[in-house]
Every structure is written in structure tokens, then in C-alpha cells.
């Protein structure tokens, strides 16, 4: 719009502020700025007045005071004597935990469903369509509640596992599925246990080194090294050998049905709210990811598949080596925004009593202290930081994989 020929320079008239394109944008911006400042000043003065009227103030001092309530699902040490700030951190970690679990599960589900939806098998592809449509078109809140209700209503109570002669025996002697949550054995490191862990980590790195070496060899010389069994061997053998050589230093702490009359003790307990939220988010978002995956695969032109087939590649190799790498470029950006959605939707934890940050800081702390403004601000800040960092990562990735057109 500035490509118009500039009118002749002349004396400045006030009307030019509106009519002259050179000045008009300044006028508009000035007005916008004034309006913005006025709006903020208005809201701010209302806030100040209302707070003064109610005798309240803005202070974050409450974060240092003892919270007074207990939290069942916690990744760090926390008691009712810990501060509200600790409760907030517990909430943050719980949010991140459920978001991480749900992202991983949703990706797996979504990729499987998306690929199967394109399957030649009529029944499977129809089933996958039903899954995708059913979950995409019903609010996630309803899914969370339904899955929570399923867990509560279908699984046996914890007491069924308790006592000398329980109604239900531990699965494999170490797993318990109750409506309070799932109990799994916890590894206990004895002396030398750390060494086994270190060896395992080292073999993981060794495995990747081997795989990249094999790949390089294949590309440089065309020699195809076996991939599957050496990987497994490198991964497992050293750790297993170390485990037995060092005298089985890692033991399992299994849930004990006899220690307490109300609950299983020992092992790791994954609470029912966490499971409900995790599964609901994963299945719901998985349906969206399945659509993204399908769209991504269909975006790879048919000629690519045919070309690969004419080279003699088998169908699964066509998928792995030709289609998926190209589809990924289309799939990944919406995938990351689905991860963002999972993180934001995890705030619905409040419906099932999972202690994420919305439930601790935005729920109980807000209630008990009455510090609504401070709590809600902090809450929003947390989600903003998460969102902005995820979108930064996404932008970096987009820049990295975008087709370099010359």
C-alpha cells in the first residue's frame, strides 16, 4: 500500500493524520496505544480499588506458609507441613509426568491407528475409523470421567488383594490391579546395583554406536551387517552377566498384601486418577494423531510408493524406508501441537482428583488461602512457559526439516 506514489511534499495539515497514508498508520497506532494504556489503567485502578475496598493485597507470601493438606501422588518429598510452594512444585511435576506419559502413549496409539486405517484389511480399517471418529467427537472431559468410572467400577477394590487368603491373587506374584490404582514392583538397588545400571546405560550407548556404524558401512560399502540380534545382544548380555556376576544386587520390592489392613504396601503405586487421565488423554489425542499420520502418509505421492516397489522393496520396507521418512515432515508439526494440547488438557485432572498444578495451586491452595489472583496468575505463567518452549522447539524443528528449495 505504500507503493503508491508519494504525494507532493507540502505543509502539514491536521487532516493528513487521517487521510495521508504516511501518517495514518501512526495515528492508528497512537490511538491503539492510548486505548490499550487506558484499558490497563482502568482495569488496574478497578483492581486497586476493589482490593483496597475488600482490605486485600497482592502478595506471594502465602507460598512460603505451610500448606496444611496432603497430596497422594507425589514425585518429591512432601508432607502437610511443607509450604504451598512445595505443593506447587509437586503439582508441576505431576503435570509434566502425566503429559509425558500421555504424549508417548498417544504417539504409539496414533501411529498404529493411522497406519492401520490405511490397511487393506477392511475390518481393521473400519474399526480404526470408528475409534478415530468416536474419540474425536466426544469431549475429552467426558472420556476422562468415563475411563475413571470404568477403573473404579470394574477393577476390584484393594481389599480383595489383602490378607492371608485373598479373593484375588497378585498377578505373577507382583502386579495388582485395584480400583485405587495399579501396583507394580519397585527395583531396589543393593550394593553393586549401581554398577549394573551403569553397565546397562553403557550397553544402550554401545548399541546405538553399533547401529550407526552398520548404517555407515551399508552406505559406504554396501555391506549389510545383521541389525536385529546383535542389537539385542549388546543391549542385554553385558547387563545380565553383570547382574549374576555381582550376585544379583537388584531386587524387586513387590506389593505386600499382609502389611496393612487397608492397602497394599510396597512397590510403586500408580494411582487411579493418574491412570484415568493418562489413558483418556492418550486415547483421545491418539485419535487426532491417527488422522495426522494418515494425512501425512497420504501426502506422500503414490509415485514414491510405486517407485520403491519397482525397485523390489517389500511393502514394510517401502513404508519404513520411503514413505514414513517423507511423511514425517508433514506429520511432526501437527504432532507437536497435539503434545501441546495434551499438556493443556492435563489441567482437566481436576475432574478426577489428580494432583496436577491446576488441582494444587489452582485448586486447594487457592481455596485455602483465598489468594485467587496470585494463584491464577502463577498458573497461567506456568502453562505459558511450557507452551512457548514447546512452540520454540517446534519452530526450530520446522526450520530444520523444511524442504530446502533452491
Partner 1 sequence: MAMHTDHKRSDELPDVRVDNQEEVKMKKTVFLGALTIAGLAAGAAAAGTLDDVKARGTLNCGVTTGLVGFAAPDSNGEWNGFDVSVCRAVAAAALGDPTAVEFVPTTGKTRFTALASGEIDMLARNTTWTFSRDVDLKFEFVGINYYDGQGFMVPRDLGVSSAKELDGATVCIQTGTTTELNLADFFRANNISYEPVPIETNAEAQQQYLAGACDVYTTDASGLAATRATFENPGDHVLLPEIISKEPLGPLVRHGDNEWADIVRWTLNALITAEELGVTSTNIAELAAGTNNPEINRLLGTEGTLGEMLGLDAEWSKRAIMSGGNYGEIFAKHIGESTPIGLARGLNAQWTDGGLLYSPPFR
Partner 2 sequence: MSDTHAHSVAYVRETQLPQQPPPTIETGAVKWVRQNLFNGPWGSLLTLVSLYVIYLILAGSLPWLLNGVWTTSNIRECREVLDGATGGCFSVLSERWNQLLFGIAYPSDQYWRPTVAFVLLIAALAPVLFMHLPRKLLIFTGLYPFIAFWLIWGGTIMVPIVALIGVGVGYAVYNRYVADSFAMGFFGGVAAAMVTWWLGGFVIGAMPGFIALEAVPSRDMGGFMLNMILGVVCVSLSLPLGIMLALGRQSSMPIIKWICVVFIEFIRGVPLITLLFVANVVLAYFLPPGTNFDLILRVIIMITMFAAAYIAEVIRGGLAALPRGQYEAADSLGLDYAQSMRLIILPQALKISIPGIVNVAVGLFKDTTLVSVISMFDLVGMIRGPILASTDWNGVYWELWLFASMLFFVVCYGISQYSQWLERQLATDHR
Q: Out of partner 2, partner 1, none, which partner does residue 262 contact, by CB within 5 to 8 A per kind?
A: partner 1
Of residues 76-115, which lie at the interface with partner 1 (CB under 8 A)? 79-81
Q: Out of partner 2, partner 1, none, which partner does residue 373 contact, by CB within 5 to 8 A per kind?
A: partner 2
Q: Out of partner 2, partner 1, none, which partner does residue 157 contact, by CB within 5 to 8 A per kind?
A: partner 1
Nearer to partner 2 among residue 36 and residue 227 (C-beta): 36
Q: Out of partner 1, partner 2, none, which partner does residue 57 contact, by CB within 5 to 8 A per kind?
A: none
Least CB distance from residue 33 to partner 2, whole Å?
A: 6
* Residue 355 contacts partner 1 per CB under 8 A: yes
Q: Could you give phi then psi for residue 189, rounded to 5 degrees?
A: -85, 120
Nearer to partner 1 among residue 80 and residue 171 (C-beta): 80
* Geometric angle at alpha carbon 387, from 385 and 391, rounded to 5°: 115
Least CB distance from residue 206 to partner 1, whole Å?
A: 42
Number of residues that bind partner 1 (CB under 8 A): 39
Determine the Cα–Cα distance for residues 269 and 281; give it in Å rounded to an integer.
20
Close Cβ partners of 179 (under 8 Å, ≥ 6 residues apart) = 151, 152, 153, 154, 155, 156, 157, 158, 272
* Enclosing H/E stretch for 297: helix 272-299
Residue 23 · residue 17 · CB < 8 Å: yes
Nearer to partner 1 among residue 114 and residue 363 (C-beta): 363
State whether the Cα torsion 222-228-232-233 is positive or negative. negative
State whether the Cα torsion 349-350-355-356 is positive or negative. positive
Q: Which of 75, 311, 372, 380 binds partner 1 (CB under 8 A)?
A: 372
Determine the Cα–Cα distance for residues 30 and 122; give it in Å rounded to an integer.
62
Q: What residues line the site for partner 2 (CB under 8 A)? A: 1, 3-4, 18, 25, 28-29, 32-33, 36, 43, 46-47, 49-51, 53, 119-124, 127, 133-134, 136-142, 145-146, 149, 153, 344-345, 347-348, 350-351, 358, 362, 366, 372-373, 376, 379-380, 383-384, 387-388
Least CB distance from residue 80 to partner 2, whole Å?
A: 24
* Enclosing H/E stretch for 252: strand 250-253
Determine the Cα–Cα distance for residues 84 and 94; give it in Å rounded to an integer.
15
Least CB distance from residue 96 to partner 2, whole Å?
A: 14
Q: Out of partner 1, partner 2, none, which partner does residue 257 contact, by CB within 5 to 8 A per kind?
A: none
* Residue 54 contacts partner 1 per CB under 8 A: yes
Nearer to partner 2 among residue 51 and residue 259 (C-beta): 51
Q: How far is CA 259 from the centre of its chain?
A: 35
Please choose, from the candidates 160, 159, 158, the residue with its C-alpha nearest in 3D space to the C-alpha of residue 168.
160
Determine the Cα–Cα distance for residues 110 and 105; give it in Å rounded to an integer.
8
Least CB distance from residue 110 to partner 1, whole Å?
A: 30
Residue 147 · residue 280 · CB < 8 Å: yes
Q: Out of partner 2, partner 1, none, which partner does residue 215 contact, by CB within 5 to 8 A per kind?
A: none
* Enclosing H/E stretch for 174: none
Neighbours of 214 (CB within 10 A): 17
Least CB distance from residue 365 to partner 1, whole Å?
A: 10
Contacts to partner 1 by CB under 8 A: 54-56, 68-72, 79-81, 149, 152-153, 156-159, 179-180, 260-263, 265, 272-273, 350-351, 353, 355, 359, 363-364, 366-368, 370, 372
Amino acid at each position: 500500500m505504500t507503493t503508491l506514489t508519494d504525494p507532493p511534499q507540502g505543509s502539514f495539515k491536521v487532516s493528513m493524520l487521517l487521510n495521508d497514508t504516511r501518517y495514518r498508520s501512526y495515528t492508528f497506532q497512537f490511538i491503539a496505544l492510548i486505548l490499550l494504556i487506558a484499558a490497563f489503567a482502568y482495569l488496574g485502578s478497578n483492581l486497586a480499588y476493589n482490593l483496597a475496598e475488600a482490605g486485600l493485597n497482592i502478595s506471594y507470601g502465602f507460598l512460603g506458609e505451610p500448606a496444611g493438606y496432603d497430596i497422594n501422588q507425589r514425585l518429591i518429598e512432601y508432607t502437610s507441613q511443607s509450604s504451598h510452594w512445595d505443593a506447587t512444585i509437586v503439582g508441576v511435576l505431576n503435570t509434566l509426568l502425566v503429559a509425558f506419559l500421555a504424549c508417548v502413549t498417544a504417539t504409539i496409539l496414533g501411529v498404529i491407528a493411522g497406519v492401520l486405517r490405511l490397511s487393506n484389511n477392511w475390518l481393521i480399517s473400519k474399526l480404526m475409523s470408528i475409534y478415530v471418529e468416536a474419540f474425536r467427537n466426544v469431549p475429552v472431559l467426558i472420556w476422562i470421567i468415563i475411563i475413571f468410572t470404568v477403573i473404579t467400577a470394574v477393577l476390584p477394590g484393594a481389599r480383595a488383594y489383602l490378607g492371608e487368603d485373598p479373593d484375588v491373587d497378585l498377578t505373577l506374584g507382583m502386579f495388582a490391579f485395584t480400583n485405587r490404582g495399579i501396583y507394580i514392583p519397585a527395583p531396589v538397588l543393593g550394593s553393586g546395583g549401581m554398577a549394573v545400571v551403569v553397565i546397562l546405560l553403557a550397553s544402550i550407548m554401545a548399541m546405538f554406536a553399533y547401529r550407526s556404524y552398520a548404517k555407515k558401512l551399508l552406505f559406504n560399502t554396501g555391506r549389510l551387517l545383521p541389525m536385529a540380534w546383535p542389537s539385542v545382544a549388546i543391549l542385554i548380555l553385558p547387563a545380565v552377566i553383570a547382574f549374576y556376576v555381582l550376585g544379583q544386587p537388584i531386587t524387586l520390592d513387590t506389593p505386600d498384601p499382609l502389611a496393612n489392613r487397608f492397602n497394599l504396601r510396597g512397590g510403586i503405586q500408580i494411582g487411579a486418577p493418574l491412570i484415568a487421565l493418562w489413558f483418556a488423554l492418550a486415547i483421545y489425542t491418539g485419535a487426532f494423531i491417527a488422522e495426522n499420520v494418515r494425512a501425512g502418509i497420504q501426502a506422500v505421492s503414490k509415485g514414491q510408493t510405486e517407485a520403491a516397489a519397482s525397485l523390489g522393496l517389500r511393502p514394510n520396507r517401502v513404508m519404513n524406508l520411503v514413505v514414513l521418512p517423507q511423511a514425517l515432515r508433514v506429520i511432526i508439526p501437527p504432532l507437536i501441537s497435539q503434545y501441546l494440547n495434551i499438556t493443556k488438557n492435563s489441567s482437566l485432572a481436576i475432574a478426577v482428583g489428580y494432583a496436577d498444578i491446576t488441582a494444587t495451586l489452582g485448586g486447594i491452595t487457592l481455596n485455602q488461602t483465598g489468594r485467587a489472583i496470585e494463584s491464577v496468575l502463577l498458573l497461567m505463567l506456568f502453562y505459558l512457559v511450557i507452551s512457548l518452549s514447546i512452540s520454540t522447539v517446534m519452530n526450530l524443528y520446522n526450520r530444520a526439516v523444511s524442504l530446502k528449495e533452491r
